[in-house]
Amino acid sequence: MEKLEIKPELTSKMFEVLGGMWITGCVKTASELNIADHLMHGPKTISSLAQETDSQEMQLYRIMRALSSVGIFEELDSKTFALNDLGATLLTGVPGTVKDFVLANMSEHFPAFADLTYSVKTGKVPFEHVHGMNLWDYYKKYPELAANFGRGMTGLSGMELQGIIQTYDFTPYKTIVDIGGGNGIMMYAILNSSSESSGIIFDEAHVIEKTIQLIPENLKARCSVATGSFFDKVPEGADLYTMKWIIHDWNDEECIKILKVCYDAMPKGATLLIIDAVIPDESQNQPHIAKLLDIVMMACITGRERTANEFKKLVEKAGFTFHRVIDIGTEAKSIVECKKI
């Protein structure tokens, strides 16, 4: 038998893969220190950045040098750093920012990624194993982290909202319910694109308390809220129901329960849009962001990302007719359109 020998270039490639974790640690530090915000109005020397962030100059330089080497920020002459387009994704509070999502993933979520073998061996959730409670109870216990996670979800919404609005025509629908609608950012986008529609943002009471304060003045006449659990009851009688990044949070049994609650609330002829990542059914050995998002689900909650065929089976078990999958221009989201016939 020929002796197995690993080629040096493959060892180097795997070393690069591991380097992703090291860079992500640097991204977390840059996020915690608000480096992008400090560079927003122009380049700064490392000594200025260190002083403004109350940091050690040499250690901060090493972090910034590593980030700039992979295109996150730009190192100029004399240890001066500038904000570039990729670094700008770490700005605070701007549409499309990933800063808050980075902080959630590299803080409370991170230990779960180091415990994936627990999931593979037991079928259970690493986050629960590490923290002693599920993600939702954890965020109820630590509301400041829940608020950050919510901001993270809002930041990520920027990359798909435009695609949703440009791809799907909401104007035929008189009443739209967004289930698990959170702070309402998707509903506001929908109503701004469909001037004759009215909307209801549905979520748990502690979420809606804040949502009420966020409804834009120009939409208050057409946008209302409702509270409850989508495991029990959702607003009845609308002709369109939407769920963005909801179904992927739950296992099949839980999803079917949620979907049946929606089905019972919907009149015949109504439409349900499930807005989630969809893994291509025929994609063996091909990269796709949904395959990585699926690992996030495995690490943190009972849910998973699904293929189009898996979505079809799921919605049909709840009574819906699967209609189509609509590409909105990003692998992170597609629209699964279903009908109550």
| pLDDT, tens digit (0-9, with 9 covering 90-100), for 248-265 | 999 999 999 999 999 999
Q: The CATH number of the domain where 36 resides is what?
A: 1.10.10.10
**Which domain range does residue 55 map to?**
8-92
Q: Is residue 98 part of a domain?
A: no
The reply to whether 253 and 128 lie within a common domain is yes
Out of 79-88, 103-112, 143-152, 218-227, least confident range: 143-152
The reply to whether 142 and 291 lie within a common domain is yes
Domain boundary among 92, 127, 151: 92
What pLDDT does 77 receive? 95
The reply to whether 88 and 126 lie within a common domain is no
Give every CB contact of residue 99 below 8 A, 6+ residues apart in sequence.
Answer: 31, 36, 89, 90, 91, 92, 152, 155
Q: The CATH number of the domain where 263 resides is what?
A: 3.40.50.150
Q: How far apart are CA 110 and CA 126, in angstroms?
A: 10
Domain boundary among 45, 63, 92: 92
The reply to whether 143 and 84 lie within a common domain is no
Amino acid identity, residue 39? L
Residue 159 reports pLDDT greater than 90:
no
pTM of this prediction exceeds 0.85: yes
Q: Is residue 84 part of a domain?
A: yes
Residue 1 reports pLDDT greater than 60:
no
Phi (first) and psi of residue 76, to 5 degrees = -100, -170
Residue 321 reports pLDDT greater than 90:
yes
The strands making up 44-45's β-sheet, listed across from edge to edge, are 44-45, 80-82, 74-76
The reply to whether 74 and 216 lie within a common domain is no
Q: Is residue 100 part of a domain?
A: no
The reply to whether 20 and 123 lie within a common domain is no
Exposure b/e, 152-166, CB count within 10 A at least 16 = b: bbbbbbebbbbbbbe
**Number of domains observed in the structure of the chain:** 2
Task: Give the tokens for residue 31.
Answer: 């996020």
pLDDT-derived band of residue 2, with 50, 70 and 90 as boundaries? low
Catalytic residue selected from 41, 129, 248, 323: 248
The reply to whether 130 and 202 lie within a common domain is yes
206 a catalytic residue: no
What pLDDT does 155 receive? 82
Q: Is residue 312 part of a domain?
A: yes
Q: Is residue 57 part of a domain?
A: yes
The reply to whether 122 and 238 lie within a common domain is yes
Helices 8-32 and 99-106 pack at an angle, to 10 degrees, of 110
